[in-house]
Amino acid sequence: MKIIYSNYLPFNGFRAINLLGIVFAGKQYFPLDKRTINHESIHSRQMLELFIVGFYIWYIFEWVLKLIIYKNRYKAYKNIGFEREAYDNDSNINYLNKRKIFSFIKYI
């Protein structure tokens, strides 16, 4: 996984963003900690399972749905199934070795 440190991505309030398997991190977070790298690696696996485009369609759809439910952008983001799986398991460095395909579904 390639990591690019940037002044522009991710947006304020976020440490890193994974776009098409490339992680963009704020320069102030150099070097990224193992937990954040693991979090973004979980997203990369999710992307591969849904052939990348499917991941983004599902992600945006679920975020909009959660935004309608919670009426709060950050709460909507934290409750997306992909994010819930990544946050719940980012401290487990061996998670991807044991993870079953489509594991994010149980977090929806």
Bridge partner list, 26? 6
Count of residues making up the chain: 108
Contacts 24+ apart (CB under 8 A), 67-76: 74/13
Q: For residue 12, is pLDDT > 90?
A: no
pLDDT for 51: 97
pLDDT for 13: 85
Q: Strand, coil or helix: what is 66?
A: helix
Residue ranges of domains in the chain: 33-107
Q: What is the mean pLDDT of the chain?
A: 97
Q: What percentage of residues in the chain have a pLDDT greater than 90?
A: 96
How far apart (Å, rounded) are the C-alpha atoms in residues 44 and 25?
A: 15
pTM for the predicted model, two decimal places: 0.95
Q: What are the phi and psi torsion angles at 82 (to 5°)?
A: -60, -45
Cα 30 to chain centroid, rounded: 18
pLDDT-derived band at 90, boundaries 50, 70, 90: very high
Q: Strand, coil or helix: what is 59?
A: helix
Least reliable range by pLDDT among 11-15, 16-20, 84-88: 11-15
How far apart (Å, rounded) are the C-alpha atoms in residues 26 and 9?
A: 6
pLDDT digits (tens, 9 = 90+) for 25-73: 999 999 999 999 999 999 999 999 999 999 999 999 999 999 999 999 9
